[in-house]
Structure 1
Amino acid sequence: MTGDAEETDGTWDLHADLESVRRALIEWYEDDHREFPWRRTDDPYAILVSEVMSQQTQLGRVVEAWEEFLERWPTTAELAAADRADVVGFWTGHSLGYNNRAKYLHEAATQIETEYDGEFPETPGELEELMGVGPYTANAVASFAFNQGDAVVDTNVKRVCYRAFGVPDDDSAFESAANELLPAGHSRVWNNAIMELGGVACGQTPRCDEAGCPWREWCQAYASGDFTAPDVPTQPSFEGSRRQFRGRVIATLREYDELEVDTLGHRIRVDYAPDGEDGREWLEGLLADLEDDGLVAFDSDDDGEPVVRLKR
């Protein structure tokens, strides 16, 4: 059928009228789509912040944090000059996921100011040189800020390609198919459109007719009624995780100048006991990770007791 995909010498043949497929999706997106403030800008810094924030947070919750972040640090120069602990504290206070992302964003801003004279790199390869920017984020920024990215392949895009064109559940196959679909010179609108399709019409529970999916004509899943989707790794539970306690450590140390290690332990968990299973040894391991990330530092008080503080 017209929606079947085949692999021929490493290239995916979608067996569809690609021009019609592309035109249908772009027209659908431009006719009506969700409004997010970062879709109304081509400022690469603002787009980078939105991409990093969106990695573990629902888009609806990102809007307020994104606006507040840019109000506080509106340029890479101001972010680079900021106290890293303040940036990490903002991240923790808005429940934006791993604190490392705040640290890397701060370091990327510093790179742009010191290594690129305040000018953002524009291609995916150049953007990957920034701290914490991987292939996905580099493509997103290159696409949405400079309209010169490759195909962005996230969970939504994989699900769409798998259902519509029968692309196997394989990362290289998804990347190949997504890049074949991408119309040259239109990465900004295309990547926004195909992610919107996966987020609005082709979610875990599809809304093909309700959302007016523009690909129903070519879609295998729509024709067969089989809407299975690629396996997606389950996000580990946040409650009780090391990630949660890392956040509590940062938040607590922002409130106090410094704390003895055991005092800190009692403040971040009610069941803390120095000699217990989740006691001093567990906490020191957690703090060692934060020290390696450049977020905390150890010291001693006047009595020689170990204390920990945020690294400024």
Structure 2
Amino acid sequence: MSDAASELPSELDREAVQTALIEWYEDDHRDFPWRRTDDPYEILVSEVMSQQTQLGRVVEAWDAFLDEWPTPEALAAADRSAIVGFWTSHRLGYNNRAKYLHEAAGQVVEDHGGEFPRTPDELSELMGVGPYTANAVASFAFNNGDAVVDTNVKRVLHRAFAVPDDDDAFEAAASELMPDGESRVWNNAIMELGGVACEKTPACDESGCPWRQFCHAYETGDFTAPDVPTQPSFEGSRRQFRGRVVRVLGEYDELRLDELGPRVRVDYGGDHGREWLRGLVDDLASDGLVTVRGTGDGDSGDDCDSNEGRDDSAGDVLVSLSK
């Protein structure tokens, strides 16, 4: 990319910037276990777990998950209910991630003979693997990725080099900065910089930030950064109660709605009674995480995925984790 088209300052010594960051990272960085492996399955598990989950909690869960399902073959052969139950008990966020990870393992085994795809485009074909995760796996497992652009990287680029708050500009600047063939170390390093030195409240001197001599924000004292989307509150959210449903069902083979309800929330009833709970379990059924089964007068007893044509008062509605 020419300087005329560049999103970076024209006078910037890119080689010096690259060398400074890589040396800083290699000298001292946080020692997460997934940084000590190039196994694509282990890296995929870490990336999926790390989505909106504190990394300290991920370490313990990652080790336990790989002890239970050490290969994609083992995960693909497992019951989904066991995987979802693990996900819920370790508070790893949306249970759909467990479902998609299970399906992605099946794709690797059935469609790729147990061998992971190696490029971001190929990895993006796996269930639940978006562009960011695909690029991370390609980078950290195969050193074959593009420059990563996440919230931390955007903040670093905006502050250090006054890159405009625009996704295309961030993509261009990140790609221009990354040394050819160095996606593994570079993407780890620049995310580490954003995670320990250039957080919302910067710690430039305390962390020994290697870009202080190049940094626009450090020079001017203006540490504004791109807006960061606010994560909706988990406490009292629909997401929280979905997780509780899955966790409770992991302890029982099957429960009636009115047996499940009080175990999900202590104030079950009224506005948060049977209709509310039925909507919750139907959402989970649509995601393939639970099975809803109706029995009683006028009902065939077959599995069903919607409310259409069914009167819950005609008989019991039974809910269980999908196998």
Q: Give the TM-score of the pair, scaled to structure 2.
A: 0.91
**Alpha-carbon separation, structure 2, partners of 1:217 and 1:202:** 14
* Counterpart for residue 307 of structure 1: 318
Residue 93 (structure 1) aligned with residue 89 (structure 2): yes
Question: After superposition, what is the alpha-carbon deviation per residue over 1:142-166, rounded to whole angstroms, capped at 9, x for unaligned?
Answer: 0000001001111110110010011
Identity %: 72
Residue 282 (structure 1) aligned with residue 282 (structure 2): no
Query: How far apart are residue 7 of structure 1 and its match?
Result: 9.0
Query: How far apart are residue 270 of structure 1 and its match?
Result: 1.0
Query: How far apart are residue 302 of structure 1 and its match?
Result: 5.9
Unmatched runs of 5 consecutive residues or more in structure 2: 298-314
The alignment partner of 1:278 has SS state of: coil
Query: How far apart are residue 301 of structure 1 and its match?
Result: 4.3
- Aligned partner (choices 19, 25, 35) of residue 23 of structure 1: 19
**Alpha-carbon separation, structure 2, partners of 1:181 and 1:247:** 41
The alignment partner of 1:266 has SS state of: helix
Equivalent AA in structure 2 for residue 56 of structure 1: Q
**Alpha-carbon separation, structure 2, partners of 1:255 and 1:7:** 61
Residue 55 (structure 1) aligned with residue 74 (structure 2): no
* Counterpart for residue 9 of structure 2: 14
- Aligned partner (choices 160, 179, 186) of residue 183 of structure 1: 179
Equivalent AA in structure 2 for residue 289 of structure 1: D
* Counterpart for residue 263 of structure 1: 259
Residue 218 (structure 1) aligned with residue 214 (structure 2): yes
Query: How far apart are residue 176 of structure 1 and its match?
Result: 1.3
1:77-88 correspondence runs (5 A): 77-88=73-84
Equivalent AA in structure 1 for residue 316 of structure 2: E
Equivalent AA in structure 2 for residue 136 of structure 1: Y
* Counterpart for residue 244 of structure 2: 248
**Alpha-carbon separation, structure 1, partners of 2:114 and 2:140:** 19
Supply the RMSD in Å over aligned alpha carbons: 1.4
Q: Is the 8 A contact 2:43 2:140 kept in 1?
A: yes
Q: Is the 8 A contact 2:159 2:225 kept in 1?
A: yes
Query: How far apart are residue 247 of structure 1 and its match?
Result: 0.7
* Counterpart for residue 133 of structure 1: 129
The alignment partner of 2:84 has SS state of: helix
The alignment partner of 1:110 has SS state of: helix
Residue 291 (structure 1) aligned with residue 291 (structure 2): no
**Alpha-carbon separation, structure 2, partners of 1:77 and 1:111:** 10
**Alpha-carbon separation, structure 2, partners of 1:47 and 1:112:** 14
Query: How far apart are residue 288 of structure 1 and its match?
Result: 1.2
* Counterpart for residue 68 of structure 2: 72
Count of equivalent residues: 304
Q: Give the TM-score of the pair, scaled to structure 1.
A: 0.95
* Counterpart for residue 3 of structure 1: none
1:95-134 correspondence runs (5 A): 95-134=91-130
Cα distance change on mapping 1:7 and 1:290 into 2, 3 Å? farther
Cα distance change on mapping 1:87 and 1:209 into 2, 3 Å? same
Unmatched runs of 5 consecutive residues or more in structure 1: 1-5
**Alpha-carbon separation, structure 2, partners of 1:7 and 1:169:** 19
Query: How far apart are residue 97 of structure 1 and its match?
Result: 0.5
Equivalent AA in structure 2 for residue 293 of structure 1: D
Question: After superposition, what is the alpha-carbon deviation per residue over 1:21-74, rounded to whole angstroms, capped at 9, x for unaligned?
Answer: 001100110111110110000000000000000111111111110000001000
Query: How far apart are residue 202 of structure 1 and its match?
Result: 0.7
**Alpha-carbon separation, structure 1, partners of 2:90 and 2:317:** 30
Q: Is the 8 A contact 2:73 2:105 kept in 1?
A: yes
Equivalent AA in structure 2 for residue 146 of structure 1: F
Q: Is the 8 A contact 2:196 2:207 kept in 1?
A: yes
Residue 204 (structure 1) aligned with residue 200 (structure 2): yes
**Alpha-carbon separation, structure 2, partners of 1:264 and 1:170:** 47
The alignment partner of 2:7 has SS state of: strand
Equivalent AA in structure 2 for residue 150 of structure 1: D
The alignment partner of 2:201 has SS state of: coil
